Structure 1
């Protein structure tokens, strides 16, 4: 429901509420503070609606084209940005900060288009936060110049701050138009400096809230890779690591060459003779007259071992039988020698 207040009266109430918040420093958790913020936001909305209804401002105008009483209404957006940024509802805090940032941006766009003098420089911002040109390298700033600039800005902001109450008294009385115009421009410049400070604070708080909300969201665990049947080595591994794993004492090794390659290398270096070449008929179909490398077949080895054991057993049995026969023959010969004297059996040429 719209009030019956005129535009100047609405502006006076908006400024009074702002000065009350600055002076009294009411706690943000206090109910009176919340009610004051809601009331001030409603007053700003109504004042901005009245300004738009009468088309008070135009984009093709300059500061000289503005009437003195209308200059103050350019700060309505900055007042609304301030009050919106004072809403500390936990669920809507991030939304309130981004709205406040948008209102400050619109305020800067309007006063820059009118060509107000001695305005502070601002960082361009977007709906998601302050941004800068990523292609440009930040210029080196002289610390002494930076310090002097901060001091200058602080002093100028302080002098403009002291003129707020003076402007409130001037707007409610009849004063010279030139003085009122000068104070109105000072009010605009005051909010320009205030907006620069608030935008920096908003940027920091928005980054913190977005980071906190990102941590609150449940993160989906990445899918586990399928287990492979064979152990695979990482692709990105240096030659030095492979050599260390291969030749390092007491560490697991991986083969660097096949057995055939090792034999070839030993033969070339003269450390071992060339492998014996066998007739290919023993290993081929007999059609090839060339030779082939002799390879050991585990099954053939087992069969050969078994045959060798059987042959050894037979040889042992034959040897045992032969030894028994020899022993018996020797015994009979010994008995014969005991019974017959040497040469007694030779009767040839005897008379």
Structure 2
């Protein structure tokens, strides 16, 4: 790696590219575990300082042409690997910007950085290319009208992918927590440093894909919020970064309604009147509301009572069972056979007593059918 140097301070003190990157990286790690208020001045100043370091380092990397789409990841030197993470760091720092007057701009900037990072990783064959819009728009109507079974299987696959990504991220975080200080202080050998940054790139790819999905949703919500503000409606949604000024609140009537335009509240359904649950009309006529020993309850209370007693199924448990069945249906039959075969082999190796006893009973059983036995009904 070229030892690029620039004048980074007013006193003309020259700093190396690695020092600039390390300063930004230390600030980023500090912000990740900081307990300072998100909208505080100190926190936001650190965000701007860290972004300044990474932007300065990015300029140098682009000037020297450090990365090329014609290279493979094995051709990149260990000293150059950390600089592949700079777009990812900049995207993560954009998500920490607090600017109530301009909400959409940081979201779009972070989206650009994450896309740039994923594109560079794709050029080095570290991740697969995302599906283009043309592939999604060219789907036929028949393909769009998928059956419920197909949608259920896809949901199960997506869930399995998310679980696998979560486990991988957890393993990488544990490894990085052990090796971070040694890598930053350059006390680790080159092979360990290379493995560290390759794992960091794997983590950044998964995190960038998740952040892109989140930023897209937040950007749509922010645009809806701005459109509602321009229409003169009161805004109260998750994208709002602060309470509206008190001057914008209208004076209220004696019972608390405002003069300004407001969205009508939905009509709340009337609560059900309690009634006696009886077996038939005759019992209902006899055991009326005046009968003191018969409890009066609603259907919901009666159902919840039966759930607590273990008679009726619980909705959460039923949903969990249905989800497990969907995941089991989505699994490949060959994989299920392999898992069953592996369980049998493990029992044989461990000399499982239950398995051995069952196999011995099968060996000792003899299905003896004498001549003439069988179904002799209506036979002369």
Does the alignment reach a TM-score above 0.5?
yes
Q: Is the 8 A contact 1:120 1:192 kept in 2?
A: no
Matched, 1:205 2:218: yes
Structure 1, residues 200-237: CA drift from partner, whole Å, max 9, x if none? 21111100011112223359xxxxxxxxxxxxxxxxxx
- For 2:46 and 2:185, how far apart are their aligned partners in 1? 22
Correspondence 1:239-278 to 2 at 5 A: none
Q: Is the 8 A contact 1:122 1:196 kept in 2?
A: no
- Say which of 196, 200, 208 aligns to 2:209: 196
- Say which of 48, 52, 56 aligns to 1:38: 48
Residue in structure 2 matched with residue 148 of structure 1 by the alignment: 160
Residue in structure 1 matched with residue 171 of structure 2 by the alignment: 159
Which SS does the other structure have where 1:83 is aligned?
Answer: helix
**Count of residue pairs brought into register by the alignment:** 212
Change (3 A) 1:25 1:153: farther
Structure 1, residues 322-349: CA drift from partner, whole Å, max 9, x if none? xxxxxxxxxxxxxxxxxxxxxxxxxxxx
In structure 1, runs of 5+ residues without a counterpart are: 126-130, 220-351
- For 2:152 and 2:194, how far apart are their aligned partners in 1? 36
Residue in structure 2 matched with residue 243 of structure 1 by the alignment: none
> Hey, which bits of structure 1, 4+ residues long, moved more than 6 A?
none
RMSD, matched Cα: 2.5
Q: Is the 8 A contact 1:78 1:104 kept in 2?
A: yes
Residue in structure 2 matched with residue 238 of structure 1 by the alignment: none
Correspondence 1:1-351 to 2 at 5 A: 2-3=8-9, 4-116=14-126, 119=127, 122=130, 133-136=136-139, 137=144, 140=151, 142=153, 143-165=155-177, 166-218=179-231
Q: Is the 8 A contact 1:87 1:93 kept in 2?
A: no
Which SS does the other structure have where 1:87 is aligned?
Answer: coil
Q: Is the 8 A contact 2:122 2:128 kept in 1?
A: no
Which SS does the other structure have where 1:67 is aligned?
Answer: coil
Q: Is the 8 A contact 1:97 1:206 kept in 2?
A: yes
Which SS does the other structure have where 1:59 is aligned?
Answer: coil
* TM-score of the superposed pair, with normalisation by structure 1: 0.55
Residue in structure 2 matched with residue 345 of structure 1 by the alignment: none
* TM-score of the superposed pair, with normalisation by structure 2: 0.51
Q: Report deviation, 1:87.
A: 1.0
Larger Rg: 1
In structure 2, runs of 5+ residues without a counterpart are: 1-6, 233-380
Q: Is the 8 A contact 1:167 1:184 kept in 2?
A: no
